[in-house]
Structure 1
Amino acid sequence: MRLTKRRLLTSLHYLGPLAILLGCIFLRWQDVPFVDQLRLSVFDTYQRISPRTYEDVGVRIVDIDERSLEELGQWPWPRTRLAGLLYRLRLSGAQVVGFDIVFAEPDRTSPARVVNDWPSGPDTDKIKALADNLPDHDALFAQFIRGTGKVVTAIQLTTKKINELPRQTGNFSVAGEAGRTLSDFIPVLPGAAKNLDAIEDAASGNALVNVSPEQDGIVRRVPLLAAIDHELPAIGMPVYPTLSMEMLRVLQDAPRTMNVRMSGASGSERWTQSQGIEAIRVGAVTIPTDHAGHMWVHFTGHQTDRYISAADVMNDALPSGSLQNKVVLIGTSAAGLLDLRSTPLDRVLPGVEVHAEMLEQMILEHFLTRPYWAAEAETIVLLILGLFFVLAVPRLGAIWPAVIGSSLALGAITFSWWAYSSQLLLIDPAYPLISLLAVYLATSSIGFMRTEGERRQVRSAFANYLSPALVEQLARHPDRLKLGGETRDMTLMFCDVRGFTAISEGFKSNPQGLTRLINRLLTPLTDCILRREGTIDKYMGDCIMAFWNAPLDVKNHAHQACESALAMRRALDELNTERQTEATNENSPFLPLNVGIGINCGDCLVGNMGSDQRFDYSVLGDAVNLASRLEGQSKNYGVDIVLGEAIAERVHNDFAILELDLIAVKGKSEAVHIHALLGDANLQNSDGFAFLRNAHQSMISAYRAQNWDAAAALLDQCREISRTADNAGPLNGLYDLYEERIRLFRATPPPTNWNGVFVAISK
């Protein structure tokens, strides 16, 4: 069952992220709206950071602005006024004039139409007869258009059905994509708002003014071609060019036939199997497009230098030669005429300026392009890097793939920006990177959940035995749970309950009570150790074995062990006080709990020891054995905490320590100095303890010099000082021991070569 679960988790670690990767690729090829919008937002950001630099190539906008409407009258103007405007433009040297206005309705200011609404009568009938002989304004306007030449009129494709097709002034030859027509790719609408026939017939060109925004209302691409799917008795769908492209054709005096090159045409660089339009050639200029014949507009942003007020033209207020050899678009920026658009650089921009920017790019042959291979290249990068994350994260962990992925992401963004700024290529780094982030997060999340599961198992198994630091380390690196060890400088502690046999006899009929008592004792003592970065090696009945500085480094581990021992003494005092109160309330006998603690330090072998089937993290070495023997000697010397010589040398400046003896413990031939730990730095720095330490050391020196009288006298002095020394505690047991030894040595003197060593015969 466990093996099956592990295999399932391993499979999920690969199959889950792989499914996300394939889902991201599927969404990319479906080109769902949010994917397209994300890509467009990146391109918008590039344009905002580095818009096209404005270069004056002679494109001007004659603007029917608010001032023109105030000075010359509200819109629509009489066609005679527009004829005068056109005349002045050509007289000023304008090469080509294009209207961003559709003249779909007859001019109501024509004399015959004005008097037609008058009531009949002798006088009005005469006026009507005279008006019929006056020139029609539309015919006069058409005459000016034909006479000035190089004028392009506008049509607006709509969703309304039509009764008559707009005039086609140009046509298209198509190269490539056998069996496909332009209408398979370009925008197709059912109808159009067209000019009056007389006006269309007089113009040199007739073109679209449709500026189609994206789904978010922002203009980024403009269709260069569009078709009408009409229901009229005509052959095929007529295709019309956009205003800027038709003005470019007229400006060049180029043939009416424009060449549309499809992605599969001879000479086109077809890297993939993508289909659609690749470019449109107008005279000497080739305009790259997307597959639907849209041109990407590289905006400069609103430029006032492009604009000339129509009022200035009509009032002859322009400087001489200001329109010489210029290409002029006539449009409006007046808000009431509703020809306003949004672009990546401008929230509100007159629609005619979009055509002006496109015409500037055509003249400059400066084009933004999104190459055909871009989508496939982005997908291939996504697939390769996605598979890298799927395979690498479970093996390498989350860090290195994240570092590599971050570097690749930075490289992709840098390449995309270089392609835009230097090559005018639009490469999308955003969607592949976001998709890769999703794959990486999925992979690392599954790995995290898998690792956390293993960590929970480790924490659950060891939390009650090891220090929190060790538990966390093992949780982070479960692989460390294997056989083996290392030599480290460590501090060891053994703690045992004194008189446990007598205590157990009181619980003969209540073993559960004895268990509760032991647990009640070991819990606070254990807490004192764990809080100071110690590790509980094992419990042996009423005995605790602990150590410091493995497997993690513990700064000042000898000090930490001594602090733990003093804290255990305080915790034991509190527990005995509670138990005595409980015994008094229950009218039951009270036996205080006392412990003996032995602490030593030195080099030890520490690690996982045991068999392949079962092992424990434990410690071995001579320092361990000595610590155990020191705990056993605590009862003999009448103190509760005994320190070995090595640890006493490390902590004697920070704790209150007295030398106990020079002893050869059982199992060792070499003698060591052992010490009693009486208190912390506060006691060590007190005057009372200083007196006690001096008197005690003098007593030890006299004892080892076999000066029994001096030693006995100093014993009495030490007893007296110990009673009054600040918190040193009574040392009667220790001094009784030395008094007994002195009495024995007086009766039976030691050998002449005796050096003060006491040989212990018990543990």
Structure 2
Amino acid sequence: MRLTKNSLLRILHYLLPLGILLICIFLRWQDVPFVDQMRLSVFDTYQRIAPRQYEDVGVRIIDIDEKSLEELGQWPWPRTRLAGLVYRLRSAGARVVGFDVVFAEPDRTSPARVVKDWPKGTESDEITALADKLPDHDKLFAQFIQGTGQVVTAIQLSNKKLETPPRQIGNFSTSGEAGRKLSDFIAVLPGAAKNLDIIENAASGNALVNVSPEQDGVVRRVPLLAALDYDLPVIGMPVYPTLSMEMLRVLQDAPKTMNVRMSGASGSSRWTRSEGIEAIRVGAITIPTDHAGYMWVHFTGREKQRYISALDVLNDTLPPESLRDTIVLIGTSAAGLLDLRSTPLDRVLPGVEVHAEMLEQMLLGHFLTRPYWAAETESFVLLLIGLFFVLAVPRLGAVWPAVIGGTLAFGAAGFSWWAYDAKLLLIDPVYPLVSLLAVYLATSSIGFVRTEGERRQVRSAFGNYLSPALVNQLSRHPEQLKLGGETRDMTLMFCDVRGFTSISEGFKSNPQGLTRLINRLLTPLTKCILDREGTIDKYMGDCIMAFWNAPLDVENHAHHACDSALAMREALDHLNAERLGEAKRDNEKFLPLNIGIGINCGDCLVGNMGSDQRFDYSVLGDAVNLASRLEGQSKNYGVDIVLGEDVAKRVENDFATLELDLIAVKGKSEAVHIFALLGGAKLCQTEEFRNCQILHKSMLDAYRTQQWDKAEELLDQCRQASRGVGALAALYDMYSDRIVTFRETPPPVEWDGVFIATSK
């Protein structure tokens, strides 16, 4: 079956937005970078509007700051100084000490290493021997770490290969996800920067300090565990905890094995097919994560209360009890040491503070989470509302779906904010809304194209038949055009040229001249109709068929038709005057053009009529046939405009009308009263017309009651009274002839005055 342009647009009105919707859902599940970045930007905005309120739970950062470096010298410091720092912290009451520093190289300030760089001389051997007897700084540092206890050292997983893996102290067991390894879900890196073995072996914990920024360089979530691509004989790939989580384990003196709860584990509430990690249990604390073991950081922004200068600790200038029962992280805020990060709240933040804020959240049980069902819910909402747009916009138009969609959009945005602010849940409202906007714009754009196409089609179909005002109205509101047919109360007009056969004979040798003459006649007559909100149904040679009150409503359509008929009479007079002048100028024979018009009202079926191959917007009904018969009777009654009874009743107070006859037209057994239209309101209000109307009615009454003498007397009076009203002489001559005939052959006694027409 051949598809038309409209059919194709109608199909595309559904398929294109549906395709865009499916693409948007596909991109959402593929988590392409721009989709992920869009979502993260929303979550950043939430944090900036409502950051986590700082609560002091004893987490402190011992800051190797610019002041400490200026006073004590550049980094790295001697390990003896760091040993003294650890000793002072533990002595002051710090419960756990964690390093955000990797001690991968031996301390160059150890005596045995220092003397190797001295110039060789006579005393160098003696000095070297004495230096070898002095304590090694790394060994001394390890002794302090082991002796004070509760110290966690750092490792940094990287892409650099290494010969031996870092020491694994805190480790993991899993529950759920039978048959799947932890390394299937978490980050796996091939190498690491590790501490010296002597330092590592002395620590109570060994943990990751990896802080993984997103693709835009902003830290929002941190992996709580990661694997090293180094298969150990018994356990396979070693998995290491992050610094904050390892410190939490040491703080609680919890078992070294932490439990990773996977989807499908006992007690899991997961109801979707999403796989991965749900939470990690460390001692008595459970930390929710995303599927890859990342923890969302709910930042407070930089708080001075967290920070204590390392210089103040080493110089013993801190207030008493200031470190009692604290958990301290040793790190740096110095720009030159390059441990600076960007967060949603701070463009530059020391990396150690990220670990501090994570530790605070763990101790507070304050967890910002993106629930496992978020992706499914967002996609479901996108699919549901998207399908609503796909199905509703073609049917309801663009406005109401936009109102409903806008309401749902505000609702989704409000729910997302409430979930964050009240429940610490991260629900993305933006990508579904942007996707829905794309779907809406697609379907509304096609709707606009379809509407414009319909308007062009309406203009094309009706531009030559309707007035410009009606065409514009119909193009703006094509839904008012009920294609396929409807029943309406309408006024019909037929207009035909009298004696056209005789006129056309004069153009036998000049058919182009006849065409120009017809066009010259039909153009002003058509304008008279279109200017009065009429619709041209068709041209049939020298005949015009027109109607009113379709395809759009026309108030007082019978009045418009009568007004058009009078205007057509006047336009014809002007045309004949022009042609007469042209005939005299060219010394040609002049044949005036005369028209007959029939106008009738009634219920008709109007719409697209025809076949599958060709159809026209036209009208059918008994009222149409009668209008055609009335036009044909105009020549018999000697008038140029004949009205049906219903038309005459509707316009009798505004137009000058006279009843012509009670006639049964050819093809109809039922008789109807027919009327002549003589003029407009001006003539209707004259005393002359009213007298003529009264005499005319009396004449008809006498005629129909077979009072022939009285009727003939009244006919003479009517001729006198009608001289200033209209050309009615032929009408009254017709009645005189009928009376003569009836005197010779009287009609039946029960005759009611009906004249039976024998011609159209």
Offset from partner CA, 1:344-403 (integer Å, 9 cap, x none): 44444332222122212211223344455555666677778888888x679977789888
Distance in structure 1 (CA, Å) of the matches to 2:81 and 2:303: 27
Q: Which residue of 2 aligns with 1:486?
A: 487
Report % sequence identity: 67
In structure 2, the CA distance between the partners of 1:701 and 1:172, relative to structure 1 (3 Å rule), is closer
Taking the TM superposition and a 5 Å limit, the aligned residue runs for 1:586-601 are: 595=595
Distance 1:406 1:312 in 2: 58
In structure 2, give the amino acid aligned to 1:618: V
Whether 1:664 and 2:678 are equivalent positions in the alignment is: no
Partner of 2:256: 256
- Residue pair 2:175, 2:261 contacting (<8 A) in 1 also: yes
Query: Equivalent residues in 2 for 1:197-212 (5 A)?
Result: 197-212=197-212
Q: Shift of the alpha carbon at 1:160?
A: 0.9
What is the Cα deviation at residue 673 of structure 1?
A: 7.0
Q: Secondary structure at the match of 2:102?
A: coil
Check whether the contact 1:491–1:548 (CA below 8 A) recurs between aligned residues: yes
Q: Take 2:101 and 2:578, find their aligned partners in 1: how far apart are those partners?
A: 99
CA deviation profile, 1:577-636 (whole Å, cap 9, x unmatched) = 997899899987666655555656x55344359899989742546698469747965997
**Structure-2 separation of matches of 1:606 and 1:123:** 126
Cα gap change, 1:715/1:269 in structure 2, threshold over 3 Å: closer, same or farther? Answer: closer
Residues 594 and 462 of structure 1, relative CA distance in 2, 3 Å threshold? same
The 2-side partners of 1:619 and 1:540 are apart by: 16
- Give the 3 Å change call, closer, same or farther, for CA 187–496 of structure 1 in structure 2: same
* Residue 182 (structure 1) shift: 2.8
Alignment-mate amino acid for residue 534 of structure 2? G
Question: Which shifted more, 610-619 or 53-62?
Answer: 610-619
What pairs with 1:472-511 in structure 2 (closer than 5 Å)? 476=479, 480-482=483-485, 485-488=486-489, 490-511=490-511
Residue in structure 2 matched with residue 182 of structure 1 by the alignment: 182
Larger displacement relative to structure 2 (707-716 or 60-69): 707-716
* Distance in 1 of aligned mates of 2:570 and 2:72: 102
Using the alignment, how far apart are the partners of 2:116 and 2:36 within structure 1? 55
TM-score for the superposition, normalised by structure 2: 0.74
- Rounded Cα–Cα distance in structure 1 between residues aligned with 2:562 and 2:457: 32
Match of 2:747 in 1: none
* Alpha carbons 1:645, 1:674 under 8 Å: kept: no
1:473-517 Cα offsets, whole Å, 9 max, x none, are: 9975897415xx5353x4443333344334322222344553454
Change (3 A) 1:299 1:292: same
Return the alpha-carbon distance in structure 2 between the equivalents of residues 14 and 599 of structure 1: 47
Cα distance in 2 between the residues matched to 1:72 and 1:470: 87
Are the equivalent residues in 1 in contact too, given 2:663–2:672 (CA < 8 A)?
Answer: no
Who is 2:216 aligned against?
Answer: 216
- CA distance in structure 2 between the partners assigned to 1:141 and 1:581 by the alignment: 127
What is the distance in 2 between the residues matched to 1:303 and 1:524? Answer: 88
1:227 is displaced (CA, Å) by 2.0
Question: Which structure 2 residues correspond to residues 93-492 of structure 1 after superposition, within 5 A?
Answer: 93-110=93-110, 113-114=113-114, 116-121=116-121, 136-230=136-230, 236-269=236-269, 271-272=271-272, 274-310=274-310, 313=313, 318-372=318-372, 420-426=420-426, 468=471, 476=479, 480-482=483-485, 485-488=486-489, 490-492=490-492
Tell me how far 1:209 sits from its aligned partner: 0.7
Are the structure 2 counterparts of residues 183 and 672 from structure 1 closer, same or farther at C-alpha, using a change threshold of 3 Å?
closer
Identify which range, 238-247 or 95-104, moves more after superposition: 95-104
Q: Which amino acid aligns with 1:293?
A: G
Aligned 8 A contact 1:642 1:676 in 2: no
Where 2:493 maps in the other structure, the secondary structure is strand
Equivalence for 1:545: 545
How many Å separate the matches in 2 of 1:394 and 1:620? 37
Q: Deviations over 1:718-752 (max 9, x none)?
A: 6xxxxxxxxxxxx8x649889999999xxxxxxxx
TM, length-normalised to structure 1? 0.73
- For structure 2, list consecutive stretches of 5 or more residues without a partner in the other structure: 666-670, 699-712, 738-752
What SS does the corresponding residue of 2:163 show, helix, strand or coil? coil
Which 10-residue stretch deviates more, 82-91 or 197-206? 82-91
SS at match of 2:207: strand
Distance 1:123 1:455, change over 3 A: same
Residue pair 2:604, 2:623 contacting (<8 A) in 1 also? no
**1:724 corresponds to:** none
Aligned residues: 720
Q: 1:645–1:675: 8 Å Cα contact kept in structure 2?
A: no
Q: Which amino acid aligns with 2:603?
A: C
Which residues in structure 2 correspond to 1:582-661 (within 5 Å)?
595=595, 603-607=602-606, 617-618=618-619, 620=621, 625=626, 629=630, 633=634, 659=656, 661=658
- In structure 2, give the amino acid aligned to 1:169: I
Residues 14 and 443 in structure 2, CA contact (< 8 A), matched pair in contact too: yes
Q: Which amino acid counterpart does residue 94 of structure 2 have in structure 1?
A: A
Offset from partner CA, 1:394-453 (integer Å, 9 cap, x none): 997778988887777777666665555554444556666777777788889899999999
Aligned to 1:681: none
> Cα–Cα, structure 1 residues 663 and 707, in superposed 2: closer, same or farther, change >3 Å?
closer
Query: Structure 1 residues 701-710 or 70-79, which shifts more?
Result: 701-710
Distance 1:523 1:702, change over 3 A: closer
* Cα distance in 1, alignment partners of residues 454 and 359 from structure 2: 66
Deviates further, 663-672 or 548-557? 663-672
- Distance in 2 separating the partners of 1:563 and 1:91: 111
Residue 727 of structure 1 corresponds to which residue in structure 2? none
Q: Which letter does structure 2 place at the counterpart of 1:607?
A: V
Listed one character per residue, the Cα deviations across residues 661-696 of structure 1 (whole Å, up to 9, x for unaligned) are: 454365497767755456xxxxx8xxxx79x96564
Tell whether the 8 Å contact from 1:101 to 1:331 is kept in structure 2 after alignment. yes
Quickly say closer, same or farther: Cα 1:222–1:551, change in 2 above 3 A: same
Q: More displaced, 220-229 or 39-48?
A: 39-48
CA positional deviation for 1:208: 0.5
Residue 248 of structure 1 aligns to a residue in which SS?
helix
Aligned to 1:726: none
Mark the CA change 1:629 to 1:712 in structure 2 (over 3 Å): closer, same or farther: closer
- The 1-side partners of 2:542 and 2:298 are apart by 84
Paired with 2:74 and 2:578, the residues of 1 have a C-alpha distance of 101
Spell out, residue by residue over 1:199-234, the C-alpha distance to the aligned partner (whole angstroms, 9 max, x if none): 333332221010112333333331111122248999
Residue type of the partner of 1:664?
D
User: Structure 1's 743 and 702: CA in aligned 2 closer, same or farther, altered over 3 A?
Assistant: farther
CA contact (8 A) 1:262 1:279 kept: yes
C-alpha contact (below 8 Å) 2:171/2:257 kept by paired residues: yes
1:114-161 deviations in whole A, cap 9, x for unaligned?
554343446888777766666555445444434443222211111111
CA deviation map 1:264-309 (0-9, x unaligned) = 4444445455543332221111222233222233334444443444
User: Pairwise mapping of residues 520-535 of structure 1 onto structure 2 (< 5 A)?
Assistant: 521-523=521-523, 525-526=525-526, 529-530=529-530, 532-535=532-535
* Offset at residue 248 of structure 1 (A): 0.6
* Structure 2 letter corresponding to 1:160: K
Q: Say if 1:305 and 1:504 are closer, same or farther in 2 by CA, change over 3 A.
A: farther
Task: Provide the residue aligned with 1:55 in structure 2.
Answer: 55
Cα distance in 2 for partners of 1:234, 1:393 equals 62
C-alpha contact (below 8 Å) 1:663/1:759 kept by paired residues:
no
